[in-house]
DNA sequence: AAATATTACGATAACGTTTTCGTAGAAAAC
DNA sequence: GTTTTCTACGAAAACGTTATCGTAATATTT
């Protein structure tokens, strides 16, 4: 019971292949009774058009790629969910590629996508990406690209982000108002748009509230979880220990908790902690973690919506279309 | 600078299309100098073979589908990561489909996959699936299927699971040994293999240790998070309150924490809690959550490995090949 | 009644690969 | 020197769709 195609349907119905094809696509060129005959037999024989033949002929695959640094992470998982939801609605298929925060993997994925396998790409940049030619080449091949969260400002493409600068500012301000005198900032790869902006928000808030900026309070966490843990532990064990920590990503906030536990520091008494995070368990941690929560699901949906709008040429949007969805500060006991 | 194909390469090189094609696939029929010329020009012109033409001709897409109920969930996210890792190694592409725990969505996805879009499918069943014809039809179409975690025992296909029965037993046993007299079990859709087996482990442990089995201690959590929360709260607020809770999935353990918080119950003093979970923050919760952690990443890798073995016809495995990876009990303060 | 338009369909050429088959020319065998 | 075997390539037919073009048979207009 295998592989029924147009030719077989046509023979069975005493019609030509082209007529059957058109009937199935509900063309006005085909009479209603003929269409009905075709529909009925197609259903009866469980005809499924070969997507590869169709894609080859139409130069459209109804497939998009999602390229992200990591999936075992609430933010990206939710974003995927948002993207998949919209894709499903639109009848598109979603290929997923994980770069593991590795710039060279991102490059090889992008190179691969030049084959025309997908109609469009939704991407969040990996941590270690230096040059971005691989992405520009996608654009040159007329493969629409939409960034989300970790965008690349030097490339003209729609971008879906949160208000990272403001969030960085608000986060720092919140720690200051909670009484912190020396606030550390844990950041990831500084090549990333988000790191940059969150950091700027941090420094501007320090400035605004006359708090000193200290180099030693900036910890670049670009290694493995273990390496980052050690860096954070060292920071907390130093005699210049911060009394507030602003973690720019979820995992770093988690490591702060582990480090405090190991060092016997009590949050928030000894050090107040705040982190970007979409942890569902934030409120259940000991103590509950104050977070900046990004609208990950909505960001995914928005990115997908923009991409499909481009693919279906519905609206023409400016090449540097930018959607900014606000993140929200959720105050909990780790900063009381 | 768009779309270079074999024909253009051939013309440029004064060769035939077939020669170029063979040269690129490193065929022994082509002389070394010719191959070199072809390779050089292909690289120079950045030739990327059209995957759809290739798939159409070869009847192989080098693409697999991953069908899962949910992604915003540590278990499934890690499994995806495992699958993607192996797929990348093998040069395969990964399509992702989320069924949102909805049987009818799973059916429509499966129906769609009959088109031959993918060479194989890795699937974890959705909660509400009743009949499984859509999956049998995949098999009939010669599309290999591998199950993981939530398997379907009535279908002959390789399965990658954890030792759910033993884990259910061990979990319950652990609660009993911790002094619990009345242990509740929170379960999801009882149509699922995992629910069934974990439940059996639970009841057998009760039997083994002469604890009474009570219907009211089984709570079927098949609704939304909110609905489940209410059910759990009711359970904990009843005068027949359990002193131990075994949650069969992560989210339910989280809801138990929320319910306890709302009711002012203290874990583990008033009620001990244990849950299946891959939460990275389990040890940071208040109190730290005792978990049964599944080797999600390894399960994903294993499922993918099995699928590719079938696709590449390397080894012939029995149709009901079953890999059981052990989950591990991680005792923390919620059951002390 | 002739000319024109419309309806409903068929033949066929793409799309870009891979593969089967065939064959010049060189090398080897006799 | 003739036959046979390789070697290295080309022509062409697939794969299953969709799109272009053409055309019988009606229907409509003049």
Q: How many Å apart are CA A171 and CA A236, to the nearest integer?
A: 19
Checking if the pLDDT of A316 tops 80, the result is no
Q: Which of residues 43-72 of A touch strand D (CB under 7 A)?
A: 47-50, 53-54, 56-58
SS3 state of residue B148: strand
**Confidence at residue B136, expressed as pLDDT on a 0 to 100 scale:** 93
CB-based contact B265:B239 (threshold 8 Å)? no
How many other CB atoms sit within 10 Å of the CB of residue B100? Answer: 17
**Confidence at residue B2, expressed as pLDDT on a 0 to 100 scale:** 65
Checking if the pLDDT of A129 tops 70, the result is no
Q: How many Å apart are CA A263 and CA A242, to the nearest integer?
A: 14
Q: DSSP states of A247-284 as a string?
A: ESSHHHHHHHHHHHHHHT--TTTT-EEEEE---TTGGG
What are the CA-CA distances from residue A226 to residues A237, A327, B12, B123, B281 (Å)? 16, 28, 53, 33, 15
- The verdict on whether omega for the bond into residue B56 sits within 30 degrees of 0, i.e. cis, is no
pLDDT bin (cut points 50, 70, 90) of residue A82 is very high
Mode of pairing for the β-strands spanning A93-98 and A63-68: parallel
Structure tokens at B322: 């079953």
Residues of chain A contacting B81 with CB distance shorter than 8 Å: 70-72, 98
Question: Where are the domains positioned within chain B?
Answer: 6-49, 58-162+296-325, 164-294+329-335
CB-based contact A151:A125 (threshold 8 Å)? yes
Write the CATH number of the domain with boundaries B164-294+329-335: 3.40.50.2300
Checking if the pLDDT of B209 tops 80, the result is yes
Structure tokens at B136: 């049998």
A98 at B interface, C-beta within 8 A = yes
Answer whether B56 sits within 8 Å of A77, measured CB to CB.
no
Answer whether B81 sits within 8 Å of A97, measured CB to CB.
no
Calculate the average pLDDT of chain A: 94
Q: Which fold has domain B58-162+296-325?
A: Rossmann fold (3.40.50)
Question: Which residues, other chains included, contact B93 with Cβ-Cβ below 8 Å and sequence gap of 6+?
Answer: A95, A117, B61, B62, B63, B64, B87
Kindly report the nearest CA distance between residue A42 and chain B, in angstroms: 13
Checking if the pLDDT of B233 tops 90, the result is yes
Calculate the average pLDDT of chain B: 94
Once rounded to an integer, what is the mean pLDDT over residues B271-293?
96
Q: Number of Cβ pairs closer than 8 Å across A and B?
A: 148
Q: How many angstroms from the chain centroid is the CA of residue A126?
A: 10
Residues of chain A contacting B140 with CB distance shorter than 8 Å: 1-2
Which 8-state DSSP code applies to residue A223?
Answer: S
Q: How many Å apart are CA A98 and CA B297, to the nearest integer?
A: 14
B161: β partners: B324
Residues of chain B contacting A285 with CB distance shorter than 8 Å: 281, 284-286
**Confidence at residue A211, expressed as pLDDT on a 0 to 100 scale:** 95
**Confidence at residue A313, expressed as pLDDT on a 0 to 100 scale:** 79
Once rounded to an integer, what is the mean pLDDT over residues A317-323?
84
Beta strands in chain B (DSSP E): 63-68, 93-98, 120-123, 145-148, 159-162, 183-187, 218-220, 244-247, 272-276, 290-293, 322-325, 328-330
Dihedral sign for Cα atoms in the order A294, A295, A297, A298: negative
Q: Name the nearest CA neighbour of B327 among B266, B278, B257, B268.
A: B278
**Confidence at residue A319, expressed as pLDDT on a 0 to 100 scale:** 74
Selected residues 142-201 of chain B with any CB under 8 Å from a CB in chain A: 142
Q: How many Å apart are CA B71 and CA B214, to the nearest integer?
A: 34
Checking if the pLDDT of B325 tops 70, the result is yes
In this predicted model, what pLDDT tens digit does every residue of A201-217 receive, in sequence order? Answer: 999 999 999 999 999 99
From the list B51, B80, B142, the residue facing A71 with the nearest CB is B80
A30: β partners: none
Checking if the pLDDT of B1 tops 70, the result is no
Question: Which residues, other chains included, contact B163 with Cβ-Cβ below 8 Å and sequence gap of 6+?
Answer: B324, B325, B326, B327
Q: How many Å apart are CA A229 and CA A132, to the nearest integer?
A: 30
Checking if the pLDDT of A2 tops 70, the result is no
From the list A56, A261, A279, the residue facing B52 with the nearest CB is A56
Question: Which residues, other chains included, contact B253 with Cβ-Cβ below 8 Å and sequence gap of 6+?
Answer: B247, B273, B274, B275, B276, B277, B289, B291
Dihedral sign for Cα atoms in the order B263, B264, B265, B267: positive
pLDDT bin (cut points 50, 70, 90) of residue A127 is confident
- B31 CA from C13 C1′ (Å): 34
Checking if the pLDDT of A243 tops 60, the result is yes
CATH class of A164-295+329-335: alpha beta
Report the share of chain A in percent with pLDDT over 90: 91
Strand order in the sheet with B63-68: A322-325, A159-162, A145-148, A120-123, A63-68, A93-98, B93-98, B63-68, B120-123, B145-148, B159-162, B322-325
Q: Which of A46-50, B8-12, B257-261, B312-316 has the lowest mean pLDDT?
A: B312-316
**Confidence at residue A128, expressed as pLDDT on a 0 to 100 scale:** 67
Selected residues 304-333 of chain B with any CB under 8 Å from a CB in chain A: none
pLDDT bin (cut points 50, 70, 90) of residue B318 is confident
Q: Which residue do the tokens 């192989």 mark?
A: B60
CB-based contact B312:B120 (threshold 8 Å)? no
- B51 CA from D23 C1′ (Å): 37
In this predicted model, what pLDDT tens digit does every residue of A275-310 receive, in sequence order? Answer: 999 999 999 999 999 999 999 999 999 999 999 999
Q: Which residue do the tokens 């490339």 mark?
A: A155
In this predicted model, what pLDDT tens digit does every residue of B4-36 receive, in sequence order? Answer: 999 999 999 999 999 999 999 999 999 999 999
Q: How many angstroms from the chain centroid is the CA of residue B329?
A: 20
With residue A78 as reference, give the H or E element that holds it: helix A74-90
Nearest CA in chain A to B278: A72
Phi, psi of A42 (to 5 degrees): -60, -45
Answer whether A71 sits within 8 Å of B71, measured CB to CB.
yes
Dihedral sign for Cα atoms in the order B301, B302, B307, B312: positive
Structure tokens at A314: 């519905």
In this predicted model, what pLDDT tens digit does every residue of A152-204 receive, in sequence order? Answer: 999 999 999 999 999 999 999 999 999 999 999 999 989 899 999 999 999 99
Question: Which residues, other chains included, contact A290 with Cβ-Cβ below 8 Å and sequence gap of 6+?
Answer: A174, A272, A273, A274, A275, A329, A330, A331, A332, A333, A334, A335
Once rounded to an integer, what is the mean pLDDT over residues B71-98?
97
In this predicted model, what pLDDT tens digit does every residue of B126-185 receive, in sequence order? Answer: 976 678 999 999 988 999 999 999 999 999 999 999 999 999 999 999 999 999 999 999
Q: DSSP states of A102-163 as a string?
A: -HHHHHHHHHHHTTS--SEEEE---TT----HHHHHHHHTT--EEEESS--TTS-S-EEEE-
Once rounded to an integer, what is the mean pLDDT over residues B307-315?
86
SS3 state of residue A55: helix
Answer whether A93 sits within 8 Å of B93, measured CB to CB.
no
**Confidence at residue B57, expressed as pLDDT on a 0 to 100 scale:** 96
What are the CA-CA distances from residue A199 to residues A30, A205, A220, A306 (Å)? 62, 10, 11, 28
Report the share of chain B in percent with pLDDT over 90: 91
B281 at A interface, C-beta within 8 A = yes
């Amino acid at each position: 019971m295998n592989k029924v195609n147009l030719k077989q349907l046509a023979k069975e119905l005493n019609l030509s292949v082209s007529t059957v094809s058109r009937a199935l696509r509900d063309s006005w060129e085909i009479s209603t009774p003929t269409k009905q005959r075709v529909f009925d037999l197609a259903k009866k024989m469980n005809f499924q058009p070969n997507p590869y033949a169709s894609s080859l002929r139409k130069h459209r695959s109804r497939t998009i790629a999602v390229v992200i640094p990591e999936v075992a992470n609430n933010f990206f998982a939710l974003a995927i969910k948002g993207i998949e939801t919209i894709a499903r609605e639109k009848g598109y298929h979603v290929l997923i590629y994980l770069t593991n925060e590795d710039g060279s993997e991102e490059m090889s994925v992008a190179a691969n996508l030049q084959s025309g396998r997908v109609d469009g790409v939704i991407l969040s940049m990996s941590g270690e990406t230096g040059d971005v030619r691989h992405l520009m080449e996608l654009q040159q091949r007329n493969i629409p690209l939409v960034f989300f969260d970790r965008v690349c400002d030097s490339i003209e493409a729609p971008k879906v982000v949160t208000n990272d600068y403001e969030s960085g500012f608000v986060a720092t301000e919140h720690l200051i108002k909670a009484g912190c005198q020396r606030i550390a900032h844990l950041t990831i790869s500084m090549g990333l748009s988000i790191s940059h902006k969150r950091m700027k928000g941090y420094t501007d808030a320090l400035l605004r509230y006359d708090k000193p900026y200290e180099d030693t309070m900036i910890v670049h966490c670009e290694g493995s979880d273990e390496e980052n843990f050690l860096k954070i532990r060292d920071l907390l064990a130093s005699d210049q220990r911060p009394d507030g920590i602003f973690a720019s990503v979820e995992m770093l906030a988690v490591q702060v908790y582990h480090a405090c536990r190991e060092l016997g520091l009590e949050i928030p008494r000894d050090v107040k902690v705040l982190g970007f995070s979409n942890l569902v368990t934030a409120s259940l941690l000991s103590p509950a973690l104050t977070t900046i929560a990004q609208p990950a699901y909505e960001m995914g949906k928005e990115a997908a919506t923009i991409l499909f709008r481009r693919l279906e040429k519905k609206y023409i949007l400016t090449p540097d279309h930018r959607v900014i969805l606000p993140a929200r500060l959720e105050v909990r006991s780790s900063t009381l």
